[in-house]
Amino acid sequence: MKSSVIVFPASNCDRDAAVALEQATGKAPDMVWHGDAELPATDLIVLPGGFSYGDYLRSGAMAARSPIMRAVIEKAKAGTPVIGICNGFQILTEAGLLPGALMRNAGLNFVCRTVTLKVENNQSMFSSAFSKGQSVNFPVAHHDGNFFADSETLDRLESEGRVVFRYVDNPNGSARDIAGIVNDSGNILGMMPHPERVISPLLGGVDGAAFFKGLVDAVG
Question: How far is Cα 181 from Cα 73, in angstroms, rounded to an integer?
Answer: 17
Q: From the candidates 13, 34, 86, 142, give the one annotated as an active-site residue.
A: 86
Q: Which one from 13, 34, 94, 196 is the annotated catalytic residue?
A: 196
Determine whether 112 is an active site residue: no
Listed in order, strand segments (DSSP E) in the chain are 3-7, 30-33, 44-47, 82-85, 101-103, 111-119, 135-142, 146-148, 163-167, 178-182, 188-191
Distance between CA atoms of residues 167 and 131, nearest Å: 16
Give the nearest distance from C-beta 149 to another protein in angstroms.
7
Rounded to the nearest whole angstrom, what is the least distance from the CB of residue 163 to another protein in the complex? 17
Footprint of another protein (CB under 8 A): 57-58, 61, 65, 93-94, 99-101, 103-108, 146, 148-150, 173
Which of 13, 34, 142, 194 is the catalytic position?
194
Kindly tell me which of 78 and 108 has the beta carbon lying closer to another protein.
108
Instruction: Tell me whether residue 99 or residue 180 sits nearer to another protein (CB atom).
Output: 99
Residue 142 annotated in active site: no
* 3-state SS, residue 19: helix
Q: From the CB of residue 96, how many other CB atoms can be counted at a distance below 10 Å?
A: 9
Task: Please list the active-site residues.
Answer: 86, 194, 196
